[in-house]
Chain A
Amino acid sequence: MTGNDRGADRADGAAAPDTAQPGGAALDGAEQGGTEQGGAAPLLRLIGAGKDFGNIRALSGVDLEVHAGRVGCVLGDNGAGKSTLIKILAGLHRPTSGTYLVDGEPVEFSSPREALDRGIATVYQDLALVPLMPVWRNFFLGSEPRAGFWPLTRLRVAEMRATADAELKKMGIDLPDIDAPVADLSGGQKQVVAIARAVYFGARVLILDEPTAALGVKQSGVVLRYVRAARDAGLAVVFITHNPHHAHMVGDHFTVLRLGEVELDAPRSELALDDLVHHMAGGAELDALEHELGR
Chain B
Amino acid sequence: MGPAPALPAPGASEKELRAGRVPPLRRLAARPELGSLLGAVVLFAVFFAAAEPFRQAGSLATVLYAASTIGIMAVGVALLMIGGEFDLSAGVAVVTASLATGMTAYQFNLNVWAAAGISLALALLIGFLNGLILVRTGLPSFLVTLSVFLMLQGLNIAVTKLVTGSVSSRSIADMDGFDSVRAVFASSVPVLGTEVRITVLWWLLFTALATWVLLRTRAGNWIYAVGGSADGARAVGVPVAKVKIGLFMTVGFFAWFSGMHLIAASGGVQQSGEGVGNELLYIMAAVVGGCLLTGGYGTVVGAAIGAFIYGMTKQGIVYAGWDNNWVMFFVGAMLLLAVVVNSWFRSRAGGRR
Quick check: is B25 within 8 A (CB to CB) of the other chain? no
- With A131-B296, A273-B1 known, 12 other A-B pairs at CB within 8 A are A3-B6, A126-B231, A133-B296, A141-B222, A142-B237, A176-B18, A184-B350, A185-B19, A217-B5, A218-B13, A218-B16, A222-B16
Cα A106 to Cα B236 in complex, Å, equals 25
Q: Which of B100-108, B132-140, B213-221, B248-256 contacts A (4 or more CB under 8 A)?
A: B213-221
Which residues in chain B, 47-81, are within 8 Å of chain A measured between CB atoms?
none
Interface size class of B (residues with CB under 8 A): 35 or more
Quick check: is A38 within 8 A (CB to CB) of the other chain? no
Q: Which of A18-26, A56-64, A151-159, A263-271 contacts B (4 or more CB under 8 A)?
A: A151-159
Which residue of the partner chain, among A3, A137, A225, contacts B221 with CB atoms under 8 Å? A137
Cα A143 to Cα B235 in complex, Å, equals 12
Which residue of the partner chain, among A130, A157, A185, contacts B228 with CB atoms under 8 Å? A130
The interface bits of chain A over 130-147 (1 if a CB of B lies within 8 angstroms of the residue's CB, else 0) are: 111100010011111010
Quick check: is B14 within 8 A (CB to CB) of the other chain? yes
* Cβ A131 vs Cβ B229 within 8 A: yes
Quick check: is A181 within 8 A (CB to CB) of the other chain? yes
Quick check: is B232 within 8 A (CB to CB) of the other chain? yes
Cα A224 to Cα B7 in complex, Å, equals 8
B residues whose Cβ falls under 8 Å from a Cβ of A: 1-10, 13-14, 16-22, 216-218, 220-222, 224-225, 228-229, 231-233, 235-238, 296-297, 350-353
Cα A245 to Cα B2 in complex, Å, equals 9
* Cβ B224 vs Cβ A225 within 8 A: no
Closest CB pairs A-B (n = 3) = A3-B7, A142-B236, A128-B235
* Cβ B19 vs Cβ A180 within 8 A: yes
* Cβ A176 vs Cβ B217 within 8 A: no
- Nearest neighbor of A250 in chain B, beta-carbon distance: B7
B233 CB to closest chain A CB, in angstroms? 6
* Cβ B216 vs Cβ A172 within 8 A: no
Interface size class of A (residues with CB under 8 A): 35 or more
Which residue of the partner chain, among A2, A113, A142, A176, contacts B7 with CB atoms under 8 Å? A2
Quick check: is A220 within 8 A (CB to CB) of the other chain? yes
* Cβ A174 vs Cβ B6 within 8 A: no
- Nearest neighbor of B216 in chain A, beta-carbon distance: A154
Residues on A with beta carbons closer than 8 Å to the beta carbon of B1: 1, 273
User: Given that A144-B218, A172-B14 are known contacts, is A132 also in contact with B236, CB under 8 Å in the complex?
Assistant: no
User: Given that A124-B235, A143-B236, A217-B5 are known contacts, is A132 also in contact with B224, CB under 8 Å in the complex?
Assistant: yes
Which residue of the partner chain, among B14, B228, B352, contacts A174 with CB atoms under 8 Å? B14
Cα A137 to Cα B236 in complex, Å, equals 12
Residues on B with beta carbons closer than 8 Å to the beta carbon of A142: 233, 236-238
* Cβ B232 vs Cβ A127 within 8 A: yes
Which residue of the partner chain, among A5, A153, A175, A245, contacts B217 with CB atoms under 8 Å? A153
* Cβ B221 vs Cβ A176 within 8 A: no
Cα A222 to Cα B12 in complex, Å, equals 11
Residues on B with beta carbons closer than 8 Å to the beta carbon of A30: none
Residues on A with beta carbons closer than 8 Å to the beta carbon of B8: 3, 218, 221-222
User: Given that A130-B224, A172-B13, A184-B19 are known contacts, is A245 also in contact with B5, CB under 8 Å in the complex?
Assistant: yes
Which residue of the partner chain, among A141, A155, A183, contacts B352 with CB atoms under 8 Å? A183
* Cβ B5 vs Cβ A130 within 8 A: no
Quick check: is A6 within 8 A (CB to CB) of the other chain? yes
B27 CB to closest chain A CB, in angstroms? 8
* Cβ A3 vs Cβ B9 within 8 A: yes
* Cβ A141 vs Cβ B236 within 8 A: yes
A153 CB to closest chain B CB, in angstroms? 7
* Cβ B218 vs Cβ A172 within 8 A: no
Quick check: is A43 within 8 A (CB to CB) of the other chain? no
- Nearest neighbor of A160 in chain B, beta-carbon distance: B221
Cα A130 to Cα B1 in complex, Å, equals 38
B182 CB to closest chain A CB, in angstroms? 28
Quick check: is A177 within 8 A (CB to CB) of the other chain? yes
Which residue of the partner chain, among B9, B218, B236, contacts A153 with CB atoms under 8 Å? B218
Cα A2 to Cα B10 in complex, Å, equals 12
Residues on B with beta carbons closer than 8 Å to the beta carbon of A126: 231-232
Which residues in chain A, 155-183, are within 8 Å of chain B measured between CB atoms?
155, 157, 172-177, 180-181, 183
Cα A178 to Cα B13 in complex, Å, equals 19
Residues on B with beta carbons closer than 8 Å to the beta carbon of A10: 10
